[in-house]
Amino acid sequence: MDFEGAGAVVTGAGNGIGKLIAKKLASQGAKVAAWDIDGPAVRETVKEIRDMGREGACFEVDCGDFEQVAKASKASMRFLGRLNILVNNAGVVAGKNFEELSEIEIDRVFKVNALSLFWTNKAFLKYLKQSRRSISVTVASAAGLIGSARLTAYSASKFAAVGFTSSFRNELKKEKCQVRTLLVCPFYINTGMFEGVKTKIPFLLPILKPESVADKIVEAINKGKERLILPPFAALAGFVANCPVFLADRIENIFGINSCMDEFVGRKKEND
C-alpha cells in the first residue's frame, strides 16, 4: 500500500503505539484523523504531525460510545475525503483479580476493547469499500490468544477482538470485498499502560518497545499481512491454549504467564 495521499483514522492516538502509528503513517504521506478520549494528548499528537509538515486533525472521541463514533466518523471523512486505513488501537486495562473488579471497570473494558470495533467498522466500512486499497486493523493482544491471571476482563475483551476480526475477515472474503484486515497480537508493550509487568523469560517473551511495535504494524499494513503476533514466539500461545488443561497450565507456569501481572501498577490515564 502506498501511503502517499492515503486517508487514515487511528484510534487511541493520544499516547503509546497509537500516537507512534499516527505519526509514522503521516511521515510516509498519509492524511491522519487522530482519535482519542484524551483531548490534550491527541491535540499534541496532531501538533507533532503538523510540525513535520504533514496533514492531521484531532478528534476527542470515546470509542466505546456509538453516538460519539458516528458523529466523529462524519467529521473525519469531511477532513480526509477518502479512507484507506482504519487502525483500531484504543484500549484500556483493569489489571486486578476478578473479585476486585467493579462493574464499571468491566463494562468500560468491553466497551473500549471490543464493542468499539463494531462501532468504528460500522461507521467506516462503506468508506473503506470505496477505496481500491483499504484495510481495517485490529490491535488486539497476545492475551486474546491465551488467558492470564489478573486479566479476566482484558483478556476476555481481547478474545472478543480476535474473534471479531477472524469472522469479519472471512465475511469480507466471502463477499469478495477488497477491504483487507490485519490482526495484531502483541505481548506486553512498554507504553505505561502496563507499568509494572514482568516477564520470566525475556529472551523469548520480552517486554516490547513501542517504537518497534509501531514500525512493525505500519510495515505489516504496507505488505498486506493479515496477522502479526509479537514477538513471534507468542504465536505458540494459541497452541498452548488448545492443549489439555493440565498440560496448558503447566506450560503457562513454566513461562511465567500467570505471574506477569503480579507487580502491575498501570497508569492513571485509561487510554493507551
Instruction: Tell how strand 227-230 and strand 85-88 pair up.
Output: unpaired
- Quote the CA–CA distance of 236 and 125 in Å, as a whole number: 32
Q: Is 127 a catalytic residue?
A: no
- Active site residue: 3, 154, 164, 255, which one? 154
Exposure of 22 in the CB half-sphere (CA atoms within 13 A): 34
Q: Are 20 and 2 in contact (CB under 8 A)?
A: no
N-to-C CA span, the chain? 26
Q: Are 206 and 187 in contact (CB under 8 A)?
A: yes
Q: Are 181 and 137 in contact (CB under 8 A)?
A: yes
- Enumerate the active-site residues: 154
